[in-house]
Amino acid sequence: MADQVMPNAENVNDNANSVATNAKSVSEEDAKKAEEFKDKANEFFKNQDYNQAITFYTQAIDLNPTIAAYYGNRSFAYLRTECFGYALNDATAALKYDPKYIKAYYRRASANMALGKFKLALKDFETVVKVCPGDKDAQKKYSECGKIVKMNAFARAIAVDDNKSIADSLEIASMTIEDDYSGPCLDNGKVTQKFVQELMDTFRDQKGLHKKFAYQILLDVKKLFQEQPSLVDITVPDGAKFTVCGDIHGQYYDLLNIFKINGQPSESNPYLFNGDFVDRGSFSVECIFTLFSFKLLYPNHFFMSRGNHESYTMNQMYGFEGEVKHKFTAKMADLFTEVFNWLPLCHCINGKVLVMHGGLFKDDSVTLDDIRKCDRNKQPPEEGIMCELLWSDPQPQCGISESKRGTGSQFGPDVTKRFLQRNKLDYVIRSHEVKNKGYEIAHDGKCITVFSAPNYCDTMGNQGAFITLKGGDLTPKYTSFDAVPHPQVKAMQYASSLFGLF
């Protein structure tokens, strides 16, 4: 548990009276009503209805905005709904009203960890252990966070001293294949239809791919992605079918189910997978090698966009790095980072439908040509075109708002309308958010979300979906589907040990 520095620290039923009410600005009646809202919020929190809890914590804050515990509790609820930007703001607000409120330091550290801001998280953990030196849980989190900060600093130092890539240092020819290996083999170093089918069957049966073939796939797909622009134009002939899938997040058996429902990828059945192939689900290795193999098999009929989870920091926290190290090697985890850096940022179908993982931009003047010119061979920055393509979300109200995630922004229907008009587009498709039916139509039908990981993290109960279009009118058709059984390996199996915070 993350919050054991005080008795019952994870219990959201905080004593709101730990911070004195500002009697000059809050009436006794409002203070009493705020406590009632807080109590309702706590009940919803205990029942894991975090959105309703947030609603009532917000009402309590509106009536009595000087109570640190209200912000601290709402911060905790935001953490559970992965609104890390909002959680960060609330934890900071709680500390404004009570600088000694230890749980707020935990909340803020949690949010910063989730956002990959390890140095800031470490600073808050340090505060906690100074106040509560006997707390073993706090000491553990402080130690683990410190290790990540040191490891990242060391990695940066190595990168400065040695610019040679992992891909350039590999000697695949010297890798031997053991006599007892019975898995799929590349044909003269190349992916074939037979190989892909055997690979999917092997992974389905929880068996592995030899590292020699895994490394070869990564080298070949990296070269292929390097040859592609940041914005890839796709042509779908009149009447031809094209499928867009959203987040997969390491849910391999649900990926196989998509192919069962909609047919396997082929030149006559092209696909676009719109980012977040890995992390959270504990079969991310199986997902990514299957997708990369299809990319190599059908380079002009199988497409992949980068998501916010195709990045070093996310992989470090949310499980993919740990999974690759467990199933292969640390060197391969580093090679994946190089490959992910070359994934295209978005795709444009017939010059009319733009598909990106996250969303649109604060800057109203961004054009498709600006996206084409975007330098993507790097880790996602904290602002700008690349950041927003990977991280932003739509909102129902007009204008631009601060991101609930702490990165990117939230954009309204007016922003979408102007972007489409400026670039002569019909609508946009994006992913990045769980939806109950696996999809959502917003902004007067001009902003569509598709999410393809049903029962996300084995807990959400949502359906997944994919979208099929036909060349010509490009009218979207939605297919929702339920989760299928998978082996008893829990989601987040390989995630950072610091995820006890969330």
Average pLDDT over residues 177-193: 95
Residue 378: which CATH number? 3.60.21.10
How far apart (Å, rounded) are the C-alpha atoms in residues 217 and 213?
6
User: In this structure, are 264 and 143 located in the same domain?
Assistant: no
Per-residue confidence at 208, pLDDT binned at 50, 70, 90? very high
CA distance 356 to 344: 9
Alpha-carbon distance of 91 to 2, in angstroms, equals 15
Nearest-angstrom CA–CA distance, 272 and 265:
10
Q: Classify residue 186: in a domain, yes or no.
A: no
Please choose, from the candidates 382, 355, 298, 385, the residue with its C-alpha nearest in 3D space to the C-alpha of residue 469.
355
| DSSP-derived 3-state class of residue 390 | helix
Tens digits of residue pLDDT in 387-436? 999 999 999 999 999 999 999 999 999 999 999 999 999 999 999 999 99
pLDDT at 468: 98
Beta-bridge mates of residue 464: 481
- Read off the pLDDT band of 162 (50, 70, 90): low
**357 in catalytic set:** no
Q: Which of 403, 361, 487, 363 is nearest to 89 (CA)?
A: 403
Residues 323, 470, single domain; the answer is yes
Q: Which of 157, 176, 200 is the C-terminal boundary of a domain?
A: 157
Does residue 143 sit in the same domain as residue 241?
Answer: no
Q: Is the pLDDT of residue 367 over 80?
A: yes
Domain membership of residue 134 as a residue range:
16-157
- pLDDT for 447 equals 98
Question: How many distinct structural domains can be found in the chain?
Answer: 2
Q: Is residue 351 domain-shared with residue 260, that is, in the same domain?
A: yes
Q: Is residue 27 scored above 60 in pLDDT?
A: yes
Considering the domain architecture, whether residues 136 and 207 belong to the same structural domain is answered as no
User: Percent of the chain at pLDDT above 90?
Assistant: 81
Active-site hit among 210, 249, 301, 309: 309
Model pLDDT for residues 436-494, shown as the tens digit of each residue: 999 999 999 999 999 999 999 998 999 999 999 999 999 999 999 999 999 999 999 99
Q: In this structure, is residue 164 part of a structural domain? A: no
Residue 25: pLDDT band (50, 70, 90) is: confident
pLDDT digits 0-9 by tens, 40-98: 999 999 998 999 999 999 999 999 999 999 999 999 999 988 899 999 999 999 999 99
Residue 5 lies in a domain: no
On the question of pLDDT at 19 being above 70, the answer is no
Are 453 and 247 a contacting pair, CB within 8 Å? yes
Q: Please give the pLDDT value at position 497.
A: 75
The answer on 320 and 469 residing in a single domain is yes
pLDDT at 17: 40
Q: How does the average pLDDT of the chain come out, rounded?
A: 92
pLDDT value at residue 159: 62
DSSP 462: P
Supply the pLDDT for residue 23. Answer: 41
| Segments in 264-407 forming alpha helices (H) | 284-297, 312-318, 320-327, 330-340, 368-372, 385-391
113 and 208 assigned to the same domain: no
Take residue 381 and report the two structure tokens written for it: 């920055």
Give the end of a domain, one of 112, 131, 157.
Answer: 157
Q: Is the pLDDT of residue 11 over 90?
A: no
Question: What is the largest distance, in Å, between two alpha-carbon atoms of the chain?
Answer: 81
CATH of residue 93's domain is: 1.25.40.10
Task: Dihedral sign for Cα 338, 342, 346, 347, please.
Answer: negative
Confidence at 154, pLDDT banded by 50, 70, 90: confident
Cα(337)–Cα(334) distance, integer angstroms: 5
Q: Identify whether residues 430 and 381 lie together within a single domain.
A: yes
Does residue 12 surpass a pLDDT of 60?
A: no
Q: Give a yes or no: residue 7 inside a domain.
A: no
Last residue of a domain, one of 110, 138, 157: 157
Range picked from 15-19, 137-141, 151-155, 196-200 for highest mean pLDDT:
196-200
From start to end of 340-455, where are the E strands?
Answer: 346-349, 353-356, 393-394, 400-402, 409-411, 427-430, 439-442, 447-450
Q: How far apart are CA 333 and CA 211, in angstroms?
A: 12
Is 266 among the domain residues? yes
The two structure tokens encoding residue 61: 């804050």
| In-domain check, residue 428 | yes
pLDDT tens digits, 243-283? 999 999 999 999 999 999 999 999 999 999 999 999 999 99
Contacts of 164 (CB under 8 A, 6+ apart): none
> How much is the pLDDT for 194?
98
- Neighbour-count burial of 174, counting CB atoms closer than 10 A to its CB (0-12 exposed, 13-18 middle, 19+ buried): exposed
Q: Which residue did the predictor score with more confidence, 9 or 382?
A: 382
Count of C-beta atoms within a 10 Å radius of residue 119: 12
Residues 338, 393 contacting (CB under 8 angstroms): no
207 and 127 within one domain:
no
Greater confidence (159 vs 492) lies with 492
Give yes or no: residues 113 and 207 share one domain: no
Question: Is 320 inside any structural domain?
Answer: yes
**Span 363-373, mean pLDDT?**
96
Residue 144: which pLDDT band, with cuts at 50, 70 and 90?
A: confident
Q: Are 493 and 282 in contact (CB under 8 A)?
A: yes
Judge if 126 and 208 occupy the same domain: no
Is residue 161 pLDDT above 60, yes or no?
no
pLDDT band at 160 (very low <50, low <70, confident <90, very high): low
pLDDT at position 500, please? Answer: 58
Do residues 403 and 273 both lie within one domain? yes
What is the pLDDT averaged over residues 367-380?
Answer: 96
- Is 353 part of a structural domain of the chain? yes
- At position 498, the amino acid (one-letter code) is L
User: Is the model's pLDDT at 2 over the cut of 60?
Assistant: no
